């Protein structure tokens, strides 16, 4: 039962439409359908949680640092400018952290056969449903999910920004799987599913118009090419860029609303911000980031309280994970975040196994794209995103699998030597 609830939670993770309209209720306007199944998974997985927390090993240290992160958010909560908002934000992060532990415990021995295929089906479903709604808005057919703006690629997300951020993380999972030796361990069926989900994800992230996601993906690809430096990777990138260029060249005719939306996003997010001669006092990014720094200067130790920046300093939340940590959690929360991220990155310290270990090779191939995500997260807040905690679970599982693979190899060599000596 618990495994079923976790499966449904992951499969519905792209539906961020909330149970109540945003802003109408402090709790229900933050809950989604996937959260409901996640809560059921927690209810049926209390024993698994206790077991996961008590286990020793490098892969559980990341989860333990996650609890320290939440604790750093909770500590100054009585001094928050909005105590209710801070409590809710803390419980959201704690809820997702606990689900991440359960995902690890349930899929640590079924990465190739269960978790990867589930991700393939999830991103494919999200993209296909989004394509349908985009076509429906043009042709007049009934939509599956509520629309927001003409030409916006949404699928089950509340806005295209969420869609772009989601698919960036999923591509961070999918692309390395395609180009690492771990791909050789996939079944022929799953290799086909991987290719389909990759193509659909690349097209959909392009249609979202999320500039931060574009930037993260581009940097990830650049870092990846420096890392790999092989003909297959370069040809794949060239073909992908060519295909997207052809799509862009015909988009104004085929989907004018989507074309205009992406074009306006590019001009407002990139062109205007790169124009150093512009003196635009109404620039959203400058004002938003400036207010976050102002909040940090006002309360450097504890900030406004996690989630309390909105309504106290601005009508918008901080559009940057790093400035959000400074402005809303101060020095205490920022230290907690840094320790958590360092523990997360420490999972990638298995390069010595890379040559003979497909799981280690996969993680090494993922690292360039993860660095791209960190660049993108300078404009988005990732700790509240379900996809980030799914990614965290998957990385912890890969670290665990890499170590198990290495131990099995050593055991096999040892058994072979024993047989030869006998």
CA 371 to chain centre: 12
pLDDT per residue as tens digits for the range 301-319: 999 999 999 988 988 899 8
Cα gap 130→208, rounded to integer Å: 10
Tokens of 243: 């295909």
What are φ and ψ of residue 273, in 5° steps? -75, -25
CA 100 to chain centre: 12
Report DSSP letters for 198-245, one per residue. Answer: HHHHHHHHHHHT-HHHHHHHHHHHHHHHHHH--HHHHHHHHHHHHHHH
pLDDT per residue as tens digits for the range 233-272: 788 888 888 888 888 888 878 888 888 888 877 766 665 5
Averaged pLDDT for residues 400-412: 84
Per the listing, tokens 């993380």 go with 169
pTM: 0.92
DSSP state of 111: I
Cα gap 343→341, rounded to integer Å: 5
Q: How confident is the model at residue 346 (pLDDT cuts 50, 70, 90)?
A: very high
pLDDT of residue 270: 61
Cβ contact 129:119 at 8 Å: no
Residue-wise over 138-159: b if at least 16 C-beta within 10 A, else e? Answer: eeeeeeebeeeeebbbbbbbbe
Tokens of 1: 């039962």
Percent of the chain with pLDDT over 90: 64
3-state secondary structure of 378: coil
pLDDT of residue 272: 54
| Residues in a beta bridge with 314 | 310
Cα gap 333→89, rounded to integer Å: 13
Averaged pLDDT for residues 64-92: 95
pLDDT per residue as tens digits for the range 27-55: 888 899 999 999 999 998 877 676 655 55
Cβ contact 217:164 at 8 Å: no
The CB-side HSE value for 396 (13 A sphere, CA atoms) comes to 30
pLDDT of residue 284: 75
Averaged pLDDT for residues 107-124: 97
Per the listing, tokens 């959260």 go with 35
pLDDT per residue as tens digits for the range 332-342: 999 999 999 99
pLDDT beyond 80 at 352: no
Q: Domain spans of the chain?
A: 2-267+302-416
The count of other CB atoms within 10 Å of the CB of residue 253 is 8
Q: What is the mean pLDDT of the chain?
A: 88
pLDDT of residue 271: 53
pLDDT per residue as tens digits for the range 126-176: 999 999 999 998 888 999 998 888 778 899 999 999 999 999 999 999 999
pLDDT of residue 353: 64
Cα gap 321→145, rounded to integer Å: 28
């Amino acid at each position: 039962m618990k495994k079923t609830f976790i499966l449904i939670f992951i499969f519905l993770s792209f539906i961020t439409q909330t149970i109540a309209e945003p802003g109408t209720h402090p709790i229900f306007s933050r809950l989604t359908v996937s959260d409901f199944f996640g809560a059921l998974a927690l209810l049926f997985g209390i024993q698994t949680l206790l077991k996961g927390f008590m286990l020793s090993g490098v892969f559980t240290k990341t989860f333990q640092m996650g609890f320290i992160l939440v604790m750093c958010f909770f500590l100054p909560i009585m001094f928050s400018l909005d105590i209710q908002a801070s409590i809710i934000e803390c419980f959201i992060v704690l809820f997702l952290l606990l689900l991440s532990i359960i995902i690890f415990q349930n899929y640590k021995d079924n990465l190739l056969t269960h978790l990867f295929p589930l991700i393939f089906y999830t991103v494919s479903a999200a993209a296909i449903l989004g394509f349908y709604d985009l076509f429906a808005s043009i042709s007049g057919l009934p939509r599956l999910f509520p629309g927001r703006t003409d030409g916006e690629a949404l699928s089950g997300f509340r806005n295209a920004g969420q869609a772009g951020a989601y698919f960036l993380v999923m591509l961070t999972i999918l692309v390395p799987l395609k180009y690492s030796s771990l791909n050789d361990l996939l079944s022929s069926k799953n290799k086909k599913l991987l290719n389909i989900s990759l193509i659909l994800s690349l097209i959909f992230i392009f249609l979202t118009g999320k500039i931060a996601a574009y930037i993260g993906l581009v940097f990830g690809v650049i870092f990846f090419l420096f890392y790999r430096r092989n003909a297959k990777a370069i040809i794949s990138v060239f073909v992908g860029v060519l295909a997207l260029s052809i799509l862009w060249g015909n988009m104004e005719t085929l989907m004018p609303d989507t074309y205009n939306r992406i074009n306006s996003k590019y001009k407002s997010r990139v062109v205007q911000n790169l124009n150093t001669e512009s003196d635009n006092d109404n620039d959203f990014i400058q004002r938003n980031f400036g207010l976050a720094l102002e909040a940090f200067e006002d309360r450097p130790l504890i900030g406004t309280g996690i989630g309390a920046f909105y309504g106290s300093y601005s009508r918008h939340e901080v559009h940057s994970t790093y400035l959000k940590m400074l402005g809303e959690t101060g020095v205490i929360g920022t230290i907690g975040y840094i320790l958590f991220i360092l523990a997360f990155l420490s999972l990638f310290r298995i390069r010595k196994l890379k040559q003979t270990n497909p799981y280690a090779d996969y993680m090494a191939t993922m690292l360039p794209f993860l660095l791209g995500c960190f660049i993108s997260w300078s404009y988005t807040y990732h700790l509240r995103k379900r996809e980030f905690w799914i990614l965290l679970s998957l990385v912890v599982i890969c670290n665990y699998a890499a170590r198990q693979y290495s131990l099995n190899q050593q055991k096999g060599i040892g058994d072979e030597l024993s047989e030869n000596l006998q």
